[in-house]
């Protein structure tokens, strides 16, 4: 058992040295099965640190994340999960700010549109529970196979329409 954990830690360390978020996500299931809570927390903290570093580099270079680039995709996923953690913890303003940044940082129009809905909902003070129950369509999201909420109800469209009316 210990050699398996040591072997996994070596793979994680190598991925960290290479700043390879995608490889860390490949190792995620194995990490969940073999690491204690403290080590697992550090594993996810490393993914987040690398994602934030990648975000900074992307913003400084005035480019968009390319969703067909494995590292950009993994970075975007990590940042989305971070935003959702804030939303889940009731840190709605922090989540809203992250959703706003995420909505404009990729070359994927569907992702951008979906994150604009996340952003509008959180900016309106709508809790994650309310967002999930009245605006998110989990069945459609699962059918889409996305890592982010990508299916929405008519309530979400109303929110978008109201926001557009306010901006006029």
Residues 6+ apart with CB under 8 A from 3: none
Using alpha carbons, select from 5, 11, 46, 51 the residue that is nearest to residue 27: 11
Using alpha carbons, select from 22, 116, 27 the residue that is nearest to residue 78: 22
Range of the domain at 121: 80-168
Residue 114 located in a structural domain? yes
Using alpha carbons, select from 87, 130, 83, 92 the residue that is nearest to residue 111: 83
Q: Tell me how many domains the chain contains.
A: 2
Does the pTM of the predicted model rise above 0.75? yes
Q: Identify whether residues 59 and 17 lie together within a single domain.
A: yes
Per-residue pLDDT 10s for the chain (168 aa) are 578 889 999 999 999 999 899 999 999 999 999 999 999 999 999 999 999 999 999 999 999 999 999 999 999 999 999 999 999 999 999 999 999 999 999 999 999 999 999 999 999 999 999 999 999 999 999 999 999 999 999 999 888 888 877 776
């Amino acid at each position: 058992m210990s050699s398996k954990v040591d072997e996994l830690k070596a793979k994680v360390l190598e991925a960290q040295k290479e700043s390879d978020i995608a490889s860390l996500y490949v190792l995620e299931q194995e990490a969940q099965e073999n690491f204690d809570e403290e080590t697992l927390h550090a594993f996810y903290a490393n993914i987040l640190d690398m994602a934030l570093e990648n975000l900074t580099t992307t913003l400084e270079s005035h480019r968009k994340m390319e969703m067909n680039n494995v590292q950009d995709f993994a970075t975007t996923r990590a940042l989305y999960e971070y935003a959702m953690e804030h939303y889940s913890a009731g840190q709605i303003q922090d989540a809203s700010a992250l959703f706003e940044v995420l909505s404009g940082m990729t070359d994927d129009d569907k992702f951008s549109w979906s994150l604009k809905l996340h952003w509008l909902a959180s900016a309106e003070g709508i809790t994650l529970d309310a967002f999930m129950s009245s605006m998110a369509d989990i069945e459609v999201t699962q059918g889409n196979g996305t890592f982010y909420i990508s299916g929405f109800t008519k309530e979400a469209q109303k929110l978008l329409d109201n926001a557009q009316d306010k901006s006029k």
